[in-house]
């Protein structure tokens, strides 16, 4: 494989939890993969399948949650293999990732067996979470050491953005560049390059952080539930907090990670902390291993959440609460927050200050040895542990020297977890002088005693906006480029990388669509038609990785629809729907291509919008659906019309007898308000089309969409021609309603649900016409509109909407 | 025209019944399967000259696609019967196979034929239960009275369970008994006279050799009965036809593939070909009920068939009451006070499977052979029928 040749096939050695899931993610990203494991011994497998171990792991992928595969049935794309019969297959693989259990001897044995079969240019990598890569490379012959490195995925690999790539001193830097390019663009991950030190970066800092929380919670007597309140989303970290996260991971797993860490870190000045906390040992002894045994720090009993009480050894109700003073402090900006926490004698406050101090202390002491710069540490914690901000970002925001002095003071007073002093650079260095760790020039490197700039690998040219670190002063996607028009609802702008492509971003909450947004869309199309190659609809929220991935659009603003009904009655509702439909038709028939760059949710009106654009670029984590029935409505921005057109196109080649079979899945998706679990799933559901582009990396969707606009324009883009559509007609509608009769009379759905489903099928089948009748788009839009208005006037729909707006959850009625 | 002679069943054979979709017969075309049944039937009557076969009447409940194109005629030609034999496919859903026998017998009874083949066939693996392109008239939903036409069979069973107050527990117990009876019957060889083994040639692709290959297997006994089922296992299943219902996959009949064929002749033919009759065809009746409670159909059909035969219920020694659903079977048994020991002694559709249009012929074969073995005089085959009917036919052992 030449270094410019894309990686075409991957082999994974070891079909354990990580190995199988990495294989699954390769499939998600369109990369063929072979999953190896041990051969079954004679008589072990009933089916005489020697690859039964790998096959079972592949089968299990279907059952895991969250799903490792974008489409669960794509398990058949993963090829199962065993080390006895199939090693010759390795020759075809450009990248071979070893992911077996963490025993250096086992790994070495396997390497002996497989390395003779590797292609002469293959990259060989180990997904160890902490073993020394250099030691693992011992004994390699020829130039294999140059092609060997660590590649550390985080669990679950489909969803966790971080991948640590760990070269040894022998690894060819071009190999690492090539691998980083592949992992970033093809697998869609965020790569940091780590140093070959124990546990690398994320787990080194992450495990320390957890143990420090255990330790300080004990010192300040903070209850399990309160610790989780304090260390969860309130700090911009994983919602599950600390203890619940341990329950999810499994306490036995956690204990073995801690033990392994301890074994590797005997010269760490914080070594004493690296021991399995007593409470964990006690829980494990009782067989309470967390979620998998239903008991751990927590136990769920019906709706009640119980916590383990160390004194009584019983599970007691969780009643802990955030102290009001702390709640106030946590809303303050960082610069004020740390001082307030440190000064307040409330144990919760002291606990919080202590865990911040400990982590600052630890990252400062270890920056030089574990990472090239502070950037790797901050991204490791953000992408690998779900922190909103990395420790250096927090520290910098709180005031560098002020915090440094406080930490030093605590160390000298014996309050810290180790008496090792802060390294000199913290007080005496360009970083200390400017009090900045991340700057436009780069991020601070203790090793090199200078700021190190960002990687300039060409793959990052695909990212209009790169993941920013606070202090770097990177362009803000909310204001970057040249703004052509802006109001409360939308920003119309161009990015400097491709100035002939107009971009539209919504400014509403969850990017919902209200009349101002609709007018903004129209305006953007007018401008684009006049002056640009085309329009991309892209939301800055797509760059959010810290919590649930940002929304493309949560759909039409329900409050607006409700207000129309209450203030102006059906007439005003009709005006709103008219505006919506007209805008969508404007998108569809725009003279220049409108391309949607999607990630996260695209629901209801958001889904209708993407369905009517010229093309879609969707990140794998795209959750798309027509969900109007939840609030007692039907899609009426052209969504059902588009379904009728898709049905027409599909049936065209199959013959009219196939209307029912073609319509049924579309109908079910709408009636059940089903949301896709991935972009690939959305394609299956018909919300994406075959020639749409699925992109693994959320940072690349904007560029990909811009490129699509340019490509379409250069290929002589023309708006689709209005055409008549042949529809399924009333017999098919009746046949489907016959099934709904069974749902209703079997008490699966309410009378109102039945009635809504009737409205939906009537639109999709073209109204009360005969099979094969040719109708216009306008007629379908009229059917949508009339049904919507009628439903808005229905008290049961009104009940659903009001409940949804009040509680976020629709009622069933 | 009045009956001028009796009709006799001389031979009755059937395939083992396969589980639909996943079972042994999933790739066995129904036309080929029926041809095989006809061949095996004729093997039982070597003294019959096939040139005297007047007509072949075959029940099939979804006569389309693989079982379309008048499968009766196709199959008899595939079975190498003389071109002179006619073929007709008849459909009354679940009674199709029984209706085929009644129609064949009637041709003889009116004196217009002497040698008839009757039978049934269904591949639920290949033709889905509503057909490949179901289509309903908009008129159905225009009148509330017609809504029952749209009801799935499962929902009609729920309606019967509600109206007749049949509990979930009694349905599950009934289902378990069906499996237990069927398993016992299998192990004591009760079906060995009626079943002929089917050689299956699976045309597969072998990815290891990269070749298309044929793998052969023999299919010899019904796949449906489950050794491992229990009341606990049945109780765990969810009601699938109604949110708070009681009808589950476990207490409903199984979807299946299968075929059966019977030779029906006149007294004249018995003598002409030196044949030994197994049973005389006595009577047949069909009655309609409301579509939404179709399962209760046999309650009306059974007394009607008995009346036509001039018999009383207690004259019957063997009753094959097709178990479309435990709920409807129990309701019929209770309302008519049928003797449970005479009903489905070898199990029925819940355990043995229900290849819709074939079932009537398959269970007739079962009843006729059982009456021989157990020396019983009168036997009955009865079933409920979709859209609200019941059918019943009576045989007398010779």
Does A731 contact B136 at a Cβ distance shorter than 8 Å? yes
Cα-based distances in Å from A464 to A123, A146, A158, A536, B180: 29, 32, 23, 13, 69
Encode pLDDT of B221-255 as tens digits: 999 999 999 999 999 999 999 999 999 999 999 99
User: How large is the average pLDDT for residues A489-508?
Assistant: 97
Residue B63 sits at φ, ψ, to 5 deg, of -75, 70
Assign 3-class secondary structure to A426-455. HCCCHHHHHCCCEECCEEEECCCCEEECCC
Q: How far B57 CA sits from the closest chain A CA (Å)?
A: 29
* Distance, CA of A270 to CA of A763 (rounded, Å): 67
What is residue A1's predicted lDDT score, i.e. its pLDDT?
Answer: 47
What is residue A480's predicted lDDT score, i.e. its pLDDT?
Answer: 95
Residue A93: which residues within 8 A CB-CB, separation 6 or more? A9, A10, A11, A34, A118, A119, A122
Q: Which of these, A724, A728, A813, lies nearest to A762 by C-alpha position?
A: A728
Quick check: A771 and A729 in contact, CB under 8 A?
Answer: yes
User: How large is the average pLDDT for residues A585-610?
Assistant: 97
Does A732 contact B150 at a Cβ distance shorter than 8 Å? no
- Average pLDDT taken over every residue of chain A: 94
Query: Which residue in the set A660, A738, A742 is minimally distant from B140, CB to CB?
Result: A738
Cα-based distances in Å from B341 to A7, B181, B345: 71, 11, 7
Residues facing A97 on adjacent strands: A12, A125
Least confident of A319-333, A356-370, B258-272: A319-333
Does A660 contact B150 at a Cβ distance shorter than 8 Å? no
Quickly count: other Cβ atoms within 10 Å of residue B197's Cβ: 12
What is residue A514's predicted lDDT score, i.e. its pLDDT?
Answer: 96
Q: Which residues of B148-179 are buried (b: 16+ CB within 10 A; e: fewer)?
A: bbbbbbbbbbbbbbeebebebebbbbbbbbbb
Dihedral, CA of residue B330, residue B335, residue B338 and residue B344, to nearest 10:
-20
Q: Spell out which residues of chain B touch residue A734, defining contact as CB-CB under 8 Å.
A: 136-138, 140-141
Assign 3-class secondary structure to chain B. CCCCCCEEEEEEEECCCEECCCCCCCCCCHHHHHHHHHHHHHHCCCCCCHHHCCEEEEECCCCCHHHCCCHHHHHHHHCCCCCCCEEEEECCHHHHHHHHHHHHHHHHHCCCCCEEEEEEEEECCCCCCCCCCCCCCHHHHHCHHHHHHHCCHHHHHHHHHHHCCCCHHHHHHHHHHHHHHHHHHHHCCCCCCCECCEEEEEEEEECCCCEEEEEEEEECCCCCCCCCCCHHHHHHCCECCCCCCCCECCCECCEEEEEEEEEEEEHHHHHHCCCCCCEEEEEEEEEECCHHHHHHHHHHHHHHHHHHHCCCHHHEEEEEECCCEHHHHHHHHHHHCCCHHHECCCCCHHHHCECHHHHHHHHHHHHHHHHHHHCCCEEEEEEEECCCEEEEEEEEEC
The pair of structure tokens assigned to B195 is: 């079943």
Q: Which H/E stretch holds residue A37?
A: strand A33-37
Q: Which of B138, B143, B162, B327 to mutate to test the interface with A (most CBs of A within 10 A)?
A: B138
Q: Which of B65, B131, B133 to mutate to test the interface with A (most CBs of A within 10 A)?
A: B133
Q: Label the pairing between strands A615-625 and B86-90.
A: unpaired
Residue A273 sits at φ, ψ, to 5 deg, of -70, -25
Q: Which of these, B305, B322, B306, B324, lies nearest to B314 by C-alpha position?
A: B306
Encode pLDDT of A613-626 as tens digits: 999 999 999 999 99
Q: Which of these, B199, B281, B265, B185, lies nearest to B15 by C-alpha position?
A: B199
Q: Spell out which residues of chain B touch residue A657, defining contact as CB-CB under 8 Å.
A: 132-133
Q: How far A772 CA sits from the closest chain B CA (Å)?
A: 14
Cα-based distances in Å from B385 to A154, A678, B67: 58, 44, 20
Q: What is the CA radius of gyration of chain A?
A: 29
Q: How far B184 CA sits from the closest chain A CA (Å)?
A: 28
Catalytic residues of B: 94, 354, 384
Encode pLDDT of B375-385 as tens digits: 999 999 999 99
Residue A726: helix, strand or coil by DSSP? strand
* Distance, CA of A466 to CA of A459 (rounded, Å): 11
Does residue A734 sit at the B interface (CB-CB below 8 Å)? yes
**Angle, vertex CA A161, rays to CA A155 and CA A162, nearest 5:** 75
Q: Which of A738, A748, A771, A812 to mutate to test the interface with B (most CBs of B within 10 A)?
A: A738
**DSSP state, residue A185:** I
Closest residue of chain B to A730, computed from CA coordinates: B138
Is it the case that residue A547 has pLDDT exceeding 90? no
User: How large is the average pLDDT for residues B317-322?
Assistant: 98
Q: Spell out which residues of chain A touch residue B135, defining contact as CB-CB under 8 Å.
A: 660, 731-732, 735
Closest residue of chain B to A655, computed from CA coordinates: B133
CA B217 to chain centroid: 25
Does residue B174 sit at the A interface (CB-CB below 8 Å)? no
Q: What is the pLDDT confidence band of residue A505, given thresholds at 50, 70 and 90?
A: very high
* Distance, CA of A769 to CA of A456 (rounded, Å): 61
Q: Which of these, A363, A368, A453, lies nearest to A400 by C-alpha position?
A: A363
pTM: 0.94
Quick check: B97 and B253 in contact, CB under 8 A?
Answer: no
Quick check: B97 and B120 in contact, CB under 8 A?
Answer: yes
Residue A57: which residues within 8 A CB-CB, separation 6 or more? A15, A16, A19, A20, A35, A37
Quick check: bond before B293 cis, omega within 30?
A: no
Residues facing A625 on adjacent strands: A603
Q: Label the pairing between strands B115-123 and B86-90.
A: unpaired
Query: Which residue in the set A660, A731, A742 is minimally distant from B150, CB to CB?
Result: A742
The pair of structure tokens assigned to A436 is: 């900045």
**How many residue pairs bridge chain A and chain B with CB atoms within 8 Å of each other?**
56
Q: Which of these, B5, B9, B75, B54, lies nearest to B263 by C-alpha position?
A: B9
Quick check: B282 and B309 in contact, CB under 8 A?
Answer: yes
Does A748 contact B155 at a Cβ distance shorter than 8 Å? no
Q: How far B139 CA sits from the closest chain A CA (Å)?
A: 9
Q: Spell out which residues of chain B touch residue A742, defining contact as CB-CB under 8 Å.
A: 150-152, 155, 241
Largest CA distance in chain A: 87
What is residue B27's predicted lDDT score, i.e. its pLDDT?
Answer: 96
Closest residue of chain A to B239, computed from CA coordinates: A746
Q: Which of these, A244, A546, A543, A230, lies nearest to A387 by C-alpha position?
A: A546
User: How large is the average pLDDT for residues B28-45?
Assistant: 98
Q: Label the pairing between strands A725-726 and A774-775.
A: antiparallel
The pair of structure tokens assigned to B69 is: 């194109």
* Distance, CA of A667 to CA of A757 (rounded, Å): 8
Cα-based distances in Å from A743 to B243, B294, B302: 9, 18, 32
* Distance, CA of A517 to CA of A523 (rounded, Å): 10
* Distance, CA of A503 to CA of A524 (rounded, Å): 8
Quick check: B58 and B121 in contact, CB under 8 A?
Answer: yes
The pair of structure tokens assigned to A127 is: 């997904």
What is residue A45's predicted lDDT score, i.e. its pLDDT?
Answer: 57
What is residue B295's predicted lDDT score, i.e. its pLDDT?
Answer: 98
| Greater pLDDT, A238 or A640 | A640
**DSSP state, residue A774:** E
* Distance, CA of A466 to CA of A460 (rounded, Å): 8
Tokens 């499968």 appear where? B71
Cα-based distances in Å from B64 to A341, B30, B133: 78, 11, 10
Q: How far B241 CA sits from the closest chain A CA (Å)?
A: 6
Dihedral, CA of residue A223, residue A227, residue A230 and residue A233, to nearest 10:
-130
Q: Which of these, A427, A459, A454, A450, lies nearest to A440 by C-alpha position?
A: A454
- Of all residues in chain A, what percent carry a pLDDT higher than 70? 98
Is it the case that residue A43 has pLDDT exceeding 70? no
- Of all residues in chain A, what percent carry a pLDDT higher than 90? 88
* Distance, CA of A690 to CA of A633 (rounded, Å): 29
Quick check: B183 and B225 in contact, CB under 8 A?
Answer: yes
* Distance, CA of A125 to CA of A18 (rounded, Å): 14
Q: Which of these, A94, A175, A104, A110, lies nearest to A133 by C-alpha position?
A: A104
Q: How far A748 CA sits from the closest chain B CA (Å)?
A: 5
- Of all residues in chain B, what percent carry a pLDDT higher than 90? 97
* Distance, CA of A541 to CA of A491 (rounded, Å): 13
Residue B67 sits at φ, ψ, to 5 deg, of -115, 25
The pair of structure tokens assigned to B375 is: 């020396």
Q: What is the pLDDT confidence band of residue A2, given thresholds at 50, 70 and 90?
A: low
**Angle, vertex CA B348, rays to CA B342 and CA B350, nearest 5:** 135
Does A733 contact B138 at a Cβ distance shorter than 8 Å? yes
Q: What is the pLDDT confidence band of residue A595, given thresholds at 50, 70 and 90?
A: very high
Q: Label the pairing between strands A534-538 and A501-506.
A: parallel
Is it the case that residue A216 has pLDDT exceeding 90? yes
């Amino acid at each position: 494989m030449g270094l410019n040749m894309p990686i075409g096939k991957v082999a994974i050695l070891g079909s354990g939890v990580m190995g199988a899931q990495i294989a699954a993610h390769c499939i998600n990203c369109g990369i063929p993969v072979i999953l190896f494991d041990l051969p079954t011994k004679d008589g072990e497998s009933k089916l005489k399948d020697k690859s039964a171990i790998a096959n079972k792991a592949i089968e299990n992928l279907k059952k895991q949650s969250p799903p490792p595969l974008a489409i669960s049935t794509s398990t058949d794309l993963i090829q199962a293999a065993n080390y006895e019969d199939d090693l010759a297959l390795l020759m075809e693989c450009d990248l071979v990732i070893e992911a077996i259990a963490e025993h250096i001897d086992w790994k070495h044995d396997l390497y002996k067996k497989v390395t003779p079969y590797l292609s002469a240019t293959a990259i060989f990598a180990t997904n160890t979470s902490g073993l020394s890569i250099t030691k693992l490379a011992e004994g390699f012959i020829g130039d294999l050491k140059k092609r060997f490195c660590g590649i550390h995925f985080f669990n679950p690999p489909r969803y966790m953005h971080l991948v640590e790539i760990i070269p040894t001193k022998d690894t060819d830097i071009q190999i690492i560049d090539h691998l980083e390019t592949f992992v970033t663009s093809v697998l869609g991950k965020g790569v940091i390059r780590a140093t070959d030190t124990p546990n690398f970066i994320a787990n080194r800092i992450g495990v320390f952080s957890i143990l420090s929380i255990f330790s300080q919670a004990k010192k300040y007597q903070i209850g399990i539930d309160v610790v989780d309140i304090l260390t969860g989303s309130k700090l911009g970290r994983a919602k599950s907090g600390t203890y619940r996260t341990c329950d999810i991971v499994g306490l036995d797993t956690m204990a073995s990670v801690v033990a392994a860490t301890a074994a590797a870190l005997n010269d760490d000045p914080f070594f004493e902390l690296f021991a399995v906390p007593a409470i964990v040992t006690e829980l494990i002894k009782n067989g309470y291993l967390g979620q998998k045994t239903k008991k751990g720090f927590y136990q769920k009993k019906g709706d009640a959440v119980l916590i383990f009480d160390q004194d009584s050894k019983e599970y007691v109700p969780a009643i802990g609460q955030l102290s009001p003073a702390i709640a106030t402090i946590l809303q303050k900006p960082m610069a004020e927050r740390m001082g307030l926490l440190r000064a307040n004698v409330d144990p919760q406050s002291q606990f919080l200050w202590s865990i911040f101090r400990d982590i600052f202390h630890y990252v400062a002491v270890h920056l030089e040895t574990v990472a090239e710069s502070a950037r790797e540490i901050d991204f490791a914690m953000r992408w690998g542990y779900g922190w909103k901000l990395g420790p250096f970002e927090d520290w910098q925001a709180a005031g560098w020297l002020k915090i440094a002095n406080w930490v030093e003071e605590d160390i000298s007073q014996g309050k810290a977890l180790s008496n090792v002093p802060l390294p000199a650079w913290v007080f005496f260095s360009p970083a200390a002088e400017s009090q900045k760790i991340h700057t436009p020039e780069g991020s601070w490197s203790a090793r090199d005693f200078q700021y190190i700039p960002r990687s300039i690998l060409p793959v990052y040219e695909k990212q209009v906006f790169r993941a920013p670190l606070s202090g770097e002063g990177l362009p803000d996607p909310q204001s970057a480029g040249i703004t052509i028009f802006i109001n409360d609802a939308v920003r119309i702008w161009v990015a400097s990388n491709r100035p002939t492509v107009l971009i539209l971003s919504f400014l509403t909450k969850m990017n919902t669509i209200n009349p101002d947004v609709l007018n903004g869309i129209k305006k953007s199309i007018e401008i684009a038609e006049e002056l640009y190659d085309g329009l991309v609809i892209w939301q800055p929220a797509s760059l959010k990785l810290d919590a649930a991935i940002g929304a493309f659009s949560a759909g039409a603003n329900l409050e607006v629809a409700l207000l129309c009904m209450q203030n102006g009655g059906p007439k005003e509702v009709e005006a709103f729907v008219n505006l919506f439909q007209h805008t969508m038709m404007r998108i569809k028939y725009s003279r220049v291509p409108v391309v949607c760059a999607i990630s996260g949710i695209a629901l209801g009106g958001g889904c209708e919008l993407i369905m009517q654009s010229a093309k879609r670029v969707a990140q794998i984590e795209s959750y798309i659906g027509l969900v109007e029935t939840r609030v007692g409505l039907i899609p009426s921005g052209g969504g059902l019309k588009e379904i009728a057109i898709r049905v027409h196109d599909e049936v065209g080649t199959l013959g009219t007898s196939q209307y029912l079979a073609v319509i049924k899945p579309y109908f079910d998706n709408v009636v059940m308000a089903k949301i896709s679990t991935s972009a690939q799933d959305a394609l299956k559901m018909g919300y994406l089309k075959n020639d749409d582009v699925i992109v693994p990396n959320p940072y690349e969707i904007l560029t990909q969409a811009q490129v699509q606009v340019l490509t379409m324009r250069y290929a002589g883009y023309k708006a689709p021609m209005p055409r008549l559509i042949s529809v399924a007609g009333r017999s098919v509608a009746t046949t489907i309603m016959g099934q709904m009769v069974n749902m209703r009379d079997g008490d699966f759905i309410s009378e109102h649900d039945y009635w809504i489903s009737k409205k939906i099928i009537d639109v999709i089948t073209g109204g009360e016409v005969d099979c094969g009748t040719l109708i216009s788009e306008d007629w379908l839009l009229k059917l949508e509109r009339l049904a919507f208005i009628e439903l808005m006037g229905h008290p049961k729909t009104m009940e659903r909407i009001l409940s949804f707006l009040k509680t976020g959850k629709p009622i069933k009625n | 025209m009045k009956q001028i002679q009796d009709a006799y069943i001389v031979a009755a054979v059937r395939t083992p019944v396969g589980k639909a979709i996943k079972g042994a017969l999933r790739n066995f075309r129904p036309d080929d399967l029926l041809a095989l049944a006809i061949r095996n039937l004729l093997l039982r009557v070597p003294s019959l000259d096939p040139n005297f076969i007047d007509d072949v009447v075959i029940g099939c409940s979804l006569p389309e696609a693989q079982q379309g194109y008048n499968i009766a005629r196709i199959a008899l030609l595939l079975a190498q019967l003389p071109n002179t034999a006619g073929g007709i496919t008849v459909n009354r859903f679940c009674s199709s196979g029984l209706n085929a026998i009644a129609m064949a017998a009637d041709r003889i009874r009116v004196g217009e034929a002497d040698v008839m083949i009757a039978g049934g066939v269904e591949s639920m693996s290949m033709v889905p239960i509503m057909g490949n392109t179901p289509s309903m008239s908009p008129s159905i939903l225009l009148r509330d009275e017609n809504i029952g036409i749209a009801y799935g069979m499962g929902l009609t069973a729920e309606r019967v369970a509600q109206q007749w107050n049949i509990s979930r527990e009694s349905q599950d117990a009934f289902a378990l008994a069906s499996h237990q009876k069927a398993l016992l019957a299998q192990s004591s060889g009760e079906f060995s006279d009626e079943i002929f083994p089917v050689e299956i040639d699976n045309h597969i692709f072998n990815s290891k050799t990269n070749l298309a290959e044929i793998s052969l297997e023999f299919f010899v006994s019904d796949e449906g009965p489950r050794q491992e089922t229990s009341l606990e296992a049945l109780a765990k299943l969810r009601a699938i036809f109604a949110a708070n219902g009681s009808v589950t996959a476990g207490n409903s009949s199984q979807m299946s593939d299968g075929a059966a064929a019977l030779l029906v002749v006149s007294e004249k033919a018995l003598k002409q070909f030196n044949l030994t009759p197994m049973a005389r065809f006595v009577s047949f009746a069909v009655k309609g009920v409301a579509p939404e409670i179709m399962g209760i159909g046999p309650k009306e059909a059974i007394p009607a068939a008995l009346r036509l035969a001039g018999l009383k219920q207690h004259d019957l020694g063997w009753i094959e009451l097709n178990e479309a659903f435990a709920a409807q079977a129990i309701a019929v048994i209770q309302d008519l006070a049928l003797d449970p020991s005479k009903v489905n002694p070898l199990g029925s559709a819940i355990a043995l499977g229900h290849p819709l249009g074939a079932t009537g012929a398959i269970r007739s074969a079962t009843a006729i052979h059982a009456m021989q073995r157990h020396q019983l005089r009168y036997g009955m085959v009865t079933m409920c029928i979709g859209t609200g009917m019941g059918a019943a036919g009576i045989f007398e052992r010779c």
